[in-house]
Amino acid sequence: MSMPGKGEGTMEENQFKPLLTRKQAVALCKDYPGAEDAVFVKAGQAIRGGDYSRRHFDDIFRWKTRNRGKSRPKKNSDEEISEALRVATSLQSPKLAIALLCGLTGVAIPVASSIMTAIYPERFTIIDFRALEALDAEPARSGSLPYYESYLAFCIKLAKDWKMSLRELDKALWMWSKKNGSA
pLDDT, one tens digit per residue, over 101-130 is: 999 999 999 999 999 999 999 999 999 999
Residue at 99 is within a domain: yes
Residues 106 and 152 in one domain: no
Is 137 inside any structural domain? yes
- Give the C-alpha separation, 153 to 5, whole Å: 23
Q: Is residue 143's pLDDT more than 90? A: no
Domain termination site, one of 89, 119, 149 = 119
* pLDDT given at position 3: 35
In a domain, 8, yes or no: no
Domain span holding position 29: 16-33+124-180
User: Which of residues 106 and 11 earns the better pLDDT score?
Assistant: 106
pTM: 0.89
Domain identity same for 24 and 40:
no
- Identify whether residues 135 and 73 lie together within a single domain: no
Lowest mean pLDDT among 21-25, 50-54, 84-88, 140-144: 140-144
Give the C-alpha distances (Å, rounded to integers) separating 66 from 63, 70, 110. Answer: 5, 9, 13
Q: Report the distance separating Cα 54 and Cα 70, nearest Å.
A: 13
Q: Which of 103, 119, 135 delimits the end of a domain?
A: 119
Sign of CA dihedral 34, 129, 178, 15: positive
**Crossing angle of helices 109-119 and 145-161, rounded to 10°:** 40
Which residue, among 183, 163, 139, has the nearest Cα to 29 in the 3D structure? 163
Question: Do 174 and 154 share a domain, yes or no?
Answer: yes
Instruction: Give residue 6's pLDDT.
Output: 33
Structural domain count of the chain: 2
Instruction: Flag whether 49 is in a domain.
Output: yes
Please report the pLDDT score of residue 1 as a whole number.
Answer: 31
* Residues whose CB falls within 8 Å of the CB of residue 7, separated by 6 or more in sequence, listed in order: none
CA torsion 68-1-168-55 (nearest 10°) is 20
Strands (E), the chain: none
Domain shared by 82 and 103, yes or no = yes
Between CA 64 and CA 45 the distance in angstroms is 16
